[in-house]
Structure 1
Amino acid sequence: MTHTALTRSTLAAALALGLAGPAQAIEYGTLDTTASKVGFRYTQMGVTLDGQFKQFSAQLRFDPARPEAASTTFEVPLAGIDTGSPEGDDEVKAKTWFDTANHPVARFVSSAVKPLGGNRFEVTGELSIKGKTRPVSFPVTYTPGAPTATFEGALPLRRGDFAIGEGDWASFDIVANNVVVVFHLIAKPLAQ
C-alpha cells in the first residue's frame, strides 16, 4: 500500500529545505505549499505505483550564505494521503498500516547538511512515523531563484523499519519493503 510513501514525502520535503547553496542575500523561511509537491513511489504485486500527500507543512531556515545554519522540521498529516483510490486511502489509515488515529503525523527533523558539489547536498536527520524514529540521509538539489528557491530530491526508506504494514501485511511479497518519497519544494524568502 502507500503507507511508506507517506513517510517518504514527509521526510523528503523537510530535508530538502535544510539544504545549502551559493551565497545570496536572501534567507528562505516559508514553504509555498500550493506550488510544492510531496509524493511517494512503491511497488505492489510487481507494479510500480505513485501516490501523494495533499497536506504538509514546514518550519525552515535556509540562508545560502550560511548553509551550516540551515534547519527544518517537516510534517505530513497522514490522513491526507492520496493513494489513487478511496479504498486504498482508507486502508493505509488503519492500525496495521499508518494507524493515523494514534499516530496522525509523520515528522522529519534535520540535523546536518553536507555539500556534495554542484548545488547538491546530503541532508541528514530523524524521521518519525508511527511512533518509531529512525536516522535518514538523502540527496537534495537546490536551485536558486528570485524570489523563490527550489529543493528537489528523493528519500528512500523501508516500510518495515516503521512497522508500516503489520500482521498479514508484514510480508513484502505483495507490497514491497522499499518506498521512495519524492519532493519538489518551493521556498519563499522570509519577510523583510
Structure 2
Amino acid sequence: MTKSVWTVDKSHSSLEFTVKHMMISKVRGVFNDFEAVVEADPNDLTDAKIEFSVNINSIDTRNEDRDNHLRSNDFFDMENHPKMTFVATEIKKKSGNNYDVTGDLTLRGVTKPVTFDVTMEGVNKDPWGNEVAGFSGTSKLNRKDFGLVWNAALETGGVLVGEDVKINIELEAHKQA
C-alpha cells in the first residue's frame, strides 16, 4: 500500500481518560469532539504524519459540575486554551503492528513530548467498498507537567485528584479518495 490520507470517523472512535479520585477509585471521562488526520501506509506507520486536535469544551465525565470545574482555570483553562493538540514527531516500530508514536502534546499552553503505545488494528472494507483502518493507543502522563496542578488535601491524608492520567484512544479512520 502507498501512503494515503485517513480521516477519523468520530462515531466509531473514542478519546478516553482515567485519573485516580481520592486515592481509592478512578474517574473516567471522554472528549466527544476531536479531529485527527493520519497520512500513512497502514502496513508501515514509521513515516506517517499524525495530527490530533481536541475541543476541551467537549469533556464529559458524566457530572456537569465536575466538567465545568475541569474547563475552568483550575484545570484546562478552556477560555484561554480551548484546544489540546498532538503532532507526531517520531514513530518507531516495536514489533508486528505495534509502534511507539512520540509527539508534541500541547495542553493549557504547555508543549511536552508524550509517547503513545499504538497498535494498527487492521484495514477492512465497509459494506460500501470504502477502506477503513483501526488504530488503538494508550499513554500515561503527569497532569502537573502541563500546569494542571489544582488539588485538595484529604482529611485522612493524600489528595483528591491523582497526578497520573491514563489515556486510551480508539480510532476508526476512512481512507480519502
Which has the higher Rg, Structure 1 or Structure 2? 2
Q: Does 1:70 align with 2:48?
A: yes
CA deviations on 1:108-128 (whole Å, 9 max, x unpaired) are 000111011121000011100
Q: Does 1:118 align with 2:104?
A: no
Contact 2:152–2:159, Cα closer than 8 Å, also in 1: no
CA deviations on 1:90-147 (whole Å, 9 max, x unpaired) are 1101111100000000000001110111210000111000010001112111012222
AA aligned opposite 1:180: K
Which residue is 1:150 aligned to? 134
Structure 2 matches for 1:3-152, cutoff 5 A? 24=1, 27-45=4-22, 46-65=24-43, 67-146=45-124, 147-152=131-136
Contact 1:160–1:170, Cα closer than 8 Å, also in 2: no
Which residue is 2:166 aligned to? 180
Equivalents in 1 of 2:152, 2:163: separation in Å?
A: 9
Moved over 6 A (4+): none
The structure that is strand-richer by fraction is: 2
The structure that is helix-richer by fraction is: 1
Identity of aligned pairs, percent? 31
CA deviations on 1:74-95 (whole Å, 9 max, x unpaired) are 0101011001101111110111
5+ unaligned residues in a row in structure 2: which ranges? 125-130
Using structure 1 for the length normalisation, give the TM-score.
0.81
Using structure 2 for the length normalisation, give the TM-score.
0.87
Equivalents in 2 of 1:144, 1:162: separation in Å?
A: 33
Which residue is 1:4 aligned to? none
What is the total number of aligned residue pairs between the two structures?
Answer: 166
State the 1:149 CA deviation.
1.1
Root mean square deviation, CA, Å:
1.7
State the 1:69 CA deviation.
2.5
Compare relative contact order (CA 8 Å, sep 6+) and give the higher one, 1 or 2.
Answer: 1
State the 1:65 CA deviation.
4.9
State the 1:64 CA deviation.
2.8
Equivalents in 1 of 2:99, 2:46: separation in Å?
A: 11
